[in-house]
C-alpha cells in the first residue's frame, strides 16, 4: 500500500488532466458512454483540449491576473501579478504551510510593485512571508518578481518536491511556493493565468483552459517564437494548490461517462503506452464514483483532475503527492503496473478525501489517519475492483499494512493528542497515520457495511456519501467529532463498538483487534519469520526526508562508509537489495554526493500473512467489499 509521501524531482514529464465537459453534470448519474475514441492533437498543432469559452471583456474584468514566463536559458520564471482595484494596504502572503518545517530556500528575487497610473507604491514586510503594499489609489497594481530554482543535487530533501524546476526539458512549478496571494481572498476570487512558453512547448495544469471570444483571441495565442496559454483558477485556493507543467508534451483527450473530459499530456518514456495510461486512469476514476452520493455536482475547482507522472531514470520508483483537483506521480523504469495503479488510485481519491472533503484547520493532524490511511486502504480496493489485481494481491497488501503497524513503536505508545507535537521530529509519529489509518479504514469498511441494491454497500462508501452530502456540499469542514457522528448514525447493528473504537483506537494507543476484525471479514492472520537483507543501519524520516538514523559499527553499512546523519536520496532502493549482492547506495553529506557500495547480510523479521477462512461455501465479507 502507499504508505507515506516522498519527495520527487522531474526528469521526464507526463501530465494527466481530467477536466469538466462544456455542459455541467446532470442531477442523476449520466448514462454510460463509450470511453474509446481518443482525441489526439497532431504534432505541431499544440493546443488545449476542451477549453471553456470566455468573453474577452470578462477576462479583462478578473480581479487578479497572473502571467508566468519560464526562461530555461536563464534558469528562472518571471511572474507578474496584476490586482484590480486593490485595497491599501494590499497584504500578500507566500501561503506555504510547509515552509516552517521544510525551510524552503527563498527563491523569489527582484520584487517590484507599480501602479498603472504611475502613483507611488510603498512596499514593506510586516512579518516573515508577508508583504504589505500601500498606495494612494491604484486602479491596477502589478507586482513583478523572478522565481529562481535552487542549485544543488536533486532529491536531497523532502522540501525538494515543492521547489520549482526548469530546464530545456520542461517546467514544473507549484503555486504554493511560487505565487504571492492576497491574505484577504474574498475580493479576489476567480483569477486568470497566462503561461508564456516556447512555441514548441505545451502547458498542462489543474486550472481550467479558456478560449477568449470577442477579440479573435483563442485559448492560446501564437507570438512569433512563443505561445500564450490561458487558464482560469476558480478561487484563491485553486490558485494556491496548483501545479504547472510545460514542455514538448503529447496531447490526447477522451469524454468520460460522468460528463467530465479526460485530457492526457505525456512526455518521455513511461512503463505504459500513452493509451494504456489513459485507460488505467479511466478505470480507476470510474470505480471511485461509488463513493459519491447520487446526484452529486462537481463544485468549481474539482471539475479538473491533473495527474502529472514524472518518468525518472531510477528503476521501479513510484512516489506521489496530491494537489487540489490533481496529483503527481513519479514513475521509474520497470515500475510494476499494479503498484503504479495503486499510487494513481491513492492520489486520485484525494480529489474526494482531501479536496472535496476538507478537514477543519484545527484538526489537521487529528484527522490525518482518515485522510491518508483510509485513502491507502481504498486505493488497494480500487485496483482490485478495476480488474488490475486479484484478491490475493489485496490480501498481501493488507498483510503489509499490518506489518507496518506492528513494526512501528508509536502504534502502541502514542495517543493521538501527541501527534501534532511529534509529527515533524519523530519518524514513527509521522508514519503512524498511514500505518494505523489503513487498518482503521478496514475496520470501518466491514463494520458499517449494509445491503444495498442487491449487493453489499461498504462502510466507507456509506461514510463518504454522507460526508459529501452533509459536509462538503454545504462548504463545511470536518473533524473527528463529525466523523464519529456519522459512524454512530450508520452503525445499524452496533458492530463497531463506538466508544471503544474512538476512545481507545483512534484517540488512544490500544492495540487494534486485528485478528477478530479479519475473522469477521472471513480472513485469518498468520505470523512467522522470514529472512531479509540486513544493512546495519536504521532509516529515519524528518521534515527534510529520509536519513541514516543510526549505524551498527559491525554492519555492512559501516564497512561501506555510511555515517549517521547521511541523507538518503532513494530509500526505496533498499527494497530492491538482495542478500550477498552489492548495491549502490547514494547519500549526501554536507551537500556532497556520496556513493557507497553496501553488501547486505542475512537478517530476520516478523512476517504476516492474511489468508481466507473456510466458510462452508459462504462468500466472505471481504470479497463482498471487493465486488
Q: What is the DSSP string of 277-303?
A: HHHHHHHHHHHGGGGSPTT--PPTTSS
What pLDDT score does 453 carry? Answer: 56
Using 50, 70 and 90 to split pLDDT, how confident is the model at 301? low
**From the CB of residue 176, how many other CB atoms can be counted at a distance below 10 Å?**
21
Average pLDDT over residues 253-266: 76
Query: What's the CA dihedral at 524, 527, 533, 539 to 10 degrees?
Result: 80
Query: Is residue 589 exposed (0-12), middle (13-18) or buried (19+ Cβ within 10 Å)?
Result: middle
Least confident window among 260-269, 422-431, 571-580, 592-601: 260-269
Using 50, 70 and 90 to split pLDDT, how confident is the model at 107? confident
Using 50, 70 and 90 to split pLDDT, how confident is the model at 444? very high
Q: Is the pLDDT of residue 29 over 70?
A: no
Using 50, 70 and 90 to split pLDDT, how confident is the model at 623? confident
Average pLDDT over residues 274-301: 87
Q: Is the pLDDT of residue 24 over 70?
A: no
Report how far Cα 267 is from the mean position of its chain's Cα atoms.
20
Using 50, 70 and 90 to split pLDDT, how confident is the model at 96? low
425 or 398, which is more confident?
Answer: 398
Average pLDDT over residues 310-322: 69
Q: Is the pLDDT of residue 221 over 50?
A: yes
Average pLDDT over residues 552-580: 88
What pLDDT score does 26 carry? Answer: 34
Average pLDDT over residues 599-614: 87
Query: What's the half-sphere exposure (Cβ side, CA atoms, 13 Å) at 297?
Result: 9
Least confident window among 14-23, 33-42, 185-194, 315-324: 14-23
Which residues have C-beta within 8 Å of that of residue 138, sequence separation ≥ 6? 83, 85, 86, 88, 115, 116, 117, 119, 121
What pLDDT score does 176 carry? Answer: 81
What pLDDT score does 161 carry? Answer: 63
Q: Are 496 and 487 in contact (CB under 8 A)?
A: yes
What pLDDT score does 103 carry? Answer: 43
Give the pairing of strands 305-312 and 260-266.
Answer: unpaired
Q: Is the pLDDT of residue 583 over 60?
A: yes
Average pLDDT over residues 76-105: 73
Rounded Cα distance between 258 and 29, Å, is: 7
Note the residue count of the chain: 627
What pLDDT score does 9 carry? Answer: 30
What is the rounded average pLDDT for all residues in the chain?
Answer: 82
Q: What is the pLDDT of residues 132-183, one digit of tens each?
A: 899 988 889 999 999 888 764 444 344 456 778 888 788 888 888 888 888 8
Q: Is the pLDDT of residue 586 over 50?
A: yes
What would the DSSP string read from start to end of 465-527? HHHHHHTGGGT--B-HHHHHHHHHHH-TTS-S-HHIIIIIIISS-PPP-HHHHHHHTTEEEEE
C-alpha cell at 112: 517590484
Using 50, 70 and 90 to split pLDDT, how confident is the model at 237? confident
C-alpha cell at 538: 536504521
Average pLDDT over residues 582-587: 90
Using 50, 70 and 90 to split pLDDT, how confident is the model at 43? low
Q: Strands, E, within 422-475: which ranges?
A: 450-452, 455-457
Q: Where in the chain is the domain with CATH 2.30.42.10?
A: 536-599
Rounded Cα distance between 485 and 467, Å, is: 10
Least confident window among 51-65, 375-389, 603-617: 603-617
Q: Where in the chain is the domain with CATH 2.60.40.3650?
A: 50-248
What pLDDT score does 395 carry? Answer: 93
pTM of the predicted model as reported, rounded to 2 decimal places:
0.81
What pLDDT score does 452 carry? Answer: 62
Angle of CA points 313, 318, 324, to nearest 5°: 115
Average pLDDT over residues 109-122: 88
Average pLDDT over residues 350-378: 93
Looking at domain 50-248, which of 1.10.443.10, 1.10.357.10, 3.20.20.240, 2.60.40.3650 is its CATH number?
2.60.40.3650
Distances (CA, A) of 443 to 258, 321, 395, 481, 621: 30, 26, 15, 18, 12
Q: Is the pLDDT of residue 25 over 60?
A: no
C-alpha cell at 438: 489503513
- 536-599 has which fold? Pdz3 Domain (2.30.42)
Amino acid at each position: 500500500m502507499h504508505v507515506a509521501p516522498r519527495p520527487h524531482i522531474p526528469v521526464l514529464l507526463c501530465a494527466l488532466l481530467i477536466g469538466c465537459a462544456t455542459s455541467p453534470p446532470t442531477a442523476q448519474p449520466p448514462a454510460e458512454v463509450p470511453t474509446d475514441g481518443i482525441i489526439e492533437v497532431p504534432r505541431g498543432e499544440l493546443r488545449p483540449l476542451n477549453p471553456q469559452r470566455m468573453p474577452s471583456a470578462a477576462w479583462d474584468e478578473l480581479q487578479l491576473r497572473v502571467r508566468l514566463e519560464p526562461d530555461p536559458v536563464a534558469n528562472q520564471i518571471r511572474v507578474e501579478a496584476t490586482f484590480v482595484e486593490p485595497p491599501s494596504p494590499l497584504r500578500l502572503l507566500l501561503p506555504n504551510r510547509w515552509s516552517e518545517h521544510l525551510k524552503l530556500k527563498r527563491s523569489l528575487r527582484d520584487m517590484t510593485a507599480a501602479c498603472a497610473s504611475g502613483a507611488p507604491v510603498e512596499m514593506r514586510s510586516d512579518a516573515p512571508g508577508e508583504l504589505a503594499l500601500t498606495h494612494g489609489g491604484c486602479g491596477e497594481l502589478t507586482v513583478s518578481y523572478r522565481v529562481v530554482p535552487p542549485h544543488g543535487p536533486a532529491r536531497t530533501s523532502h522540501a525538494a518536491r515543492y521547489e520549482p524546476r526548469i530546464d530545456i526539458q520542461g517546467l514544473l512549478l507549484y503555486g504554493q511556493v511560487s505565487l504571492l496571494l492576497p491574505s484577504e481572498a474574498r475580493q479576489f476570487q476567480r483569477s486568470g493565468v497566462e503561461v508564456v512558453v516556447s512555441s514548441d512547448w505545451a502547458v498542462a495544469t489543474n486550472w481550467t483552459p479558456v478560449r477568449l471570444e470577442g477579440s479573435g483571441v483563442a485559448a492560446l495565442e501564437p507570438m512569433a517564437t512563443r505561445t500564450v496559454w490561458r487558464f482560469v483558477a476558480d478561487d484563491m485556493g485553486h490558485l494556491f494548490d496548483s501545479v504547472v507543467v510545460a514542455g514538448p508534451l503529447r496531447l490526447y483527450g477522451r469524454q468520460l461517462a460522468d460528463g467530465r473530459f479526460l485530457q492526457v499530456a505525456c512526455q518521455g518514456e513511461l512503463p505504459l503506452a500513452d493509451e494504456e495510461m489513459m485507460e488505467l486512469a479511466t478505470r480507476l476514476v470510474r470505480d471511485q464514483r461509488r463513493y459519491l452520493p447520487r446526484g452529486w455536482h462537481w463544485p468549481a475547482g474539482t471539475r479538473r483532475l491533473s495527474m502529472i507522472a514524472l518518468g525518472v531514470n531510477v528503476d521501479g520508483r513510484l512516489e506521489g503527492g496530491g494537489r487540489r483537483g490533481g496529483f503527481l506521480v513519479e514513475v521509474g523504469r520497470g515500475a510494476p503496473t499494479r503498484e503504479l495503479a495503486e499510487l494513481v488510485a491513492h492520489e486520485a481519491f484525494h480529489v474526494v478525501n482531501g479536496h472535496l472533503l476538507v478537514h477543519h484547520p484545527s484538526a489537521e493532524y487529528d484527522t490525518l489517519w482518515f485522510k491518508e490511511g483510509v485513502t491507502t486502504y481504498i486505493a488497494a480496493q480500487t485496483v482490485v475492483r478495476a480488474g488490475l489485481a486479484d484478491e490475493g494481491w489485496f490480501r498481501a497488501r493488507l498483510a503489509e499494512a499490518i506489518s507496518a503497524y506492528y513494526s512501528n513503536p508509536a502504534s502502541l505508545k502514542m495517543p493521538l493528542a501527541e501527534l501534532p507535537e511529534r509529527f515533524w521530529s519523530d519518524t514513527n509519529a509521522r508514519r503512524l497515520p498511514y500505518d494505523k489509518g489503513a487498518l482503521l479504514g478496514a475496520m470501518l469498511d466491514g463494520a458499517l457495511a449494509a445491503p444495498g441494491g442487491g449487493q453489499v454497500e461498504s462502510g466507507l462508501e456509506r461514510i463518504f456519501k454522507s460526508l459529501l452530502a452533509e459536509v462538503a456540499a454545504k462548504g463545511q469542514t470536518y473533524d473527528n467529532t463529525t466523523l464519529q457522528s456519522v459512524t454512530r448514525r450508520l452503525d445499524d447493528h452496533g458492530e463497531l463498538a463506538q466508544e471503544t473504537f474512538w476512545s481507545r483506537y483512534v484517540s488512544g494507543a490500544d492495540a487494534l483487534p486485528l485478528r477478530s476484525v479479519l475473522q469477521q471479514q472471513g480472513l485469518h492472520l498468520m505470523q512467522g519469520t522470514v529472512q531479509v537483507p540486513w544493512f546495519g543501519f536504521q532509516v529515519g524520516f524528518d521534515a527534510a526526508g529520509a536519513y541514516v538514523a543510526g549505524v551498527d559499527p559491525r554492519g555492512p553499512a559501516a564497512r561501506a562508509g555510511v555515517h549517521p546523519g547521511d541523507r538518503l536520496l532513494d530509500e526505496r532502493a533498499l527494497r530492491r537489495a538482495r542478500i550477498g549482492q552489492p548495491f549502490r547506495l547514494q547519500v549526501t553529506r554536507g551537500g556532497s554526493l556520496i556513493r557507497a557500495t553496501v553488501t547486505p547480510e542475512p537478517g530476520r523479521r516478523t512476517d504476516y500473512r492474511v489468508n481466507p477462512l473456510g466458510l462452508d461455501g459462504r462468500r466472505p465479507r471481504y470479497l463482498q467489499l471487493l465486488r
